[in-house]
Structure formats: structure tokens, C-alpha cells
Structure 1
Amino acid sequence: MKNILFAASILLFMVSCNNSEKSQAVEVSDASNIVYVPFGEEIKADSALSAAEISLQYQNMKPGDTLKTKVMAKVNSVCQAKGCWMRLDLENDEEVMVKFKDYGFFMPKNIADKEVIINGKAYITEVSVDELRHYAEDAGKSTDEIAAITEPKRTLSFEADGVLLIEE
């Protein structure tokens, strides 16, 4: 009986170690030597809108509208607590706030200035003062900067179900 329990424990340990390798998967593009590190659901790198193109789409949206799309943009910042959100540069002094579907995956905290391709839903939200302060705290802002947040903000938002981190 002890041998069976020992063998089951070893098997369970091996299976749990195998799952960690899955998150390290890397896809290499054949067309150019671009390497993509995937997060979340599997997505392809093709047909992504540029930051400028999605910015134009957001201009025509109002709170409540959604757009299923794929976007390529540069990461401005990432949640420094867990990697549970990121802000992408739209190249016109605007950013899009990206959260991850069902809190299902996180991004590395050190990817500022790297390019990503995100897949999911673009939408407009109005973010409360409490939530804005929470994000400022996660981003490492000072107490004075956090206290200066006193009004809700119309935010360009995105719920990503999959992300490709571009490593060149």
C-alpha cells in the first residue's frame, strides 16, 4: 500500500511540474524572426489593428459599445503588484487599459516599452475615483498623486482573452 501511495505522489508531482512548462511556450513566426510568448487563449499574430487604427475606432464609441478585435501596440505600464493589467500606448497621448478575461492570466511586470498583440473586446468605461486610486497605487504612484485623483475618468478599455508578447 505504501508503494502505491509513493508512486501516486511521484506521478502527481511530475504532472504538476509539467504544467509549468506549458506557460513557457514560444511561437516563432516563419515570415520574420519574431518570437511570440503567448498568454491566455491561443491567438494568431495576423490581422491586428495598429494603435492608430484602434484609436480611430475608440473615437466613434460610447460607453456600452463593444468591438471584438485584435490590436498591436506598445506597453506603457503593467501592474507592479501582480501583472493583472497593462496600459498600451495609442500614439496620440491616449492609452488603453487592458484587463484579462476572468482574471485568467497575468503579464510579466517588466514588459514596459515592449510590443504586444492583444485579442478580445474593446470598449469604453467610466472608471470610479476609488478604482483610479487603486490603479495608481498598483503603479507605484506617490500618496500625493493618489490623493489628487478626485473625478471619474472616461477610459478606453480592453478585455483580452489572449496576448502575444513580441520578443525580437
Structure 2
Amino acid sequence: MKRVLIYATLFFISFSTVSFSQESVEKPAPPTGNALVGDYYGADVSEVVLNKAISVDKLEGELSNAKKLEAIAVKGEVTDVCEKRGCWITLKTEDGASFFVKMKDYAFFVPTALKGKNVVLEGNAEKKVTSVEELKHYAKDAKKTKAEIDAIKMPKEEIRFLASGIKVIN
């Protein structure tokens, strides 16, 4: 009988410890800051790379000939930033479509103040079909309305960019 009582007590203590240690961990907010000219996130983008940066439109043209481009630099205006963590951005394209950028290995995040700034990205680009589920996830991150999220019904072929570094240029 003593053994049963001891085992029951140990089980209760173990269960209680595990249960109470499972607190929900809040994801960090985007970094603070004004995203000033010269600020960079992730790896610093060198002057050589800055001078070789191409426009989003030129990238679209180059990706029509190749499925993936590595170690490329692209410049453009930031139109949106993930408000939850700063873990993705979008750039403006000539035709008004979005150009989606994620941070490599989620190694860095950007402040929401980056919205409206011109930047140079360094990393890899590819054409990819984004699933409806993933598009809805990003719409939730961007705090779109339920109606806007529910309106997403089709996957979307788009350029995806995996940035190793982002530098504010103006």
C-alpha cells in the first residue's frame, strides 16, 4: 500500500510539474526602430552589391528564363511588413502585384517602420506556387479582415525571395 501511495504521489508531482511548465510562449514583436537610411537587417549589404541591385521588374524578366536565381540583389519599395514579428515583407512591383520576401532561416526580423522605405535585398529568388493555406496565413499576419482572408480561394504563382540581408537606402 505504501508503494502505491509513493508512486501516486510521484506521478502527481511529475504531472503537475509538466502541466505548469507548459506556459504559452508569446512570439516576439517586430524589432523597434525607425528604419533609417544605412540601417541593415541580417547580413550587411556591401556597396558592391548595392551597385549591382536590379529592380523587381528586371528580376521578373530574369526569372522567366531561370527557375531560381542565387546570390542576387534586388531594390524596391516596401509595401507591407508582418505586424506580428517582422518576419516577412512585400515590395511594390510595376504592375501592382506583390513581391514576397522572407528572411533566411528566420535569422532576423525587421521593424514595421520599414513600410514605405526603399531597400536593397540580397539573397535568392525563385518562382513558386503558394498554397491557399499559406496565403491565408500571411493574410492573417498582415491583419487582413475575415472577409479578405475568406476571399482567398486559389493558389498563386509568384516570385519568392529569401533574404540574407536587407539594407535601407532611402
SS of match in other structure, 1:77 = strand
5+ residue gaps, structure 1:
1-23, 27-33
Residues in 2 aligned to 1:136 and 1:53: alpha-carbon distance in whole angstroms: 27
Q: Is the 8 A contact 1:55 1:90 kept in 2?
A: no
Residues in 2 aligned to 1:81 and 1:152: alpha-carbon distance in whole angstroms: 23
Equivalent runs, 1:104-115 vs 2, <5 Å: 104-115=107-118
Of Structure 1 and Structure 2, which has the larger fraction of its residues in helix?
A: 2
Q: Is the 8 A contact 1:129 1:152 kept in 2?
A: yes
Indicate yes or no: 2:48 matched with 1:43. Answer: no
Residues in 1 aligned to 2:141 and 2:66: alpha-carbon distance in whole angstroms: 28
Equivalent runs, 1:55-66 vs 2, <5 Å: 55-62=60-67, 65-66=68-69
SS of match in other structure, 1:110 = helix
Per the normalisation by structure 2, the TM-score is 0.72
Pick from 128, 145, 164 the counterpart of residue 142 of structure 1. 145
**Aligned-pair distance for 1:92?**
2.0
Q: What percentage of aligned pairs have identical amino acids?
A: 35
4+ residue segments displaced more than 4 Å: none
1:93 — aligned with what?
Answer: 96
RMSD: 2.1
Per the normalisation by structure 1, the TM-score is 0.73
- Pairs aligned (count): 135
**Aligned-pair distance for 1:61?**
4.0
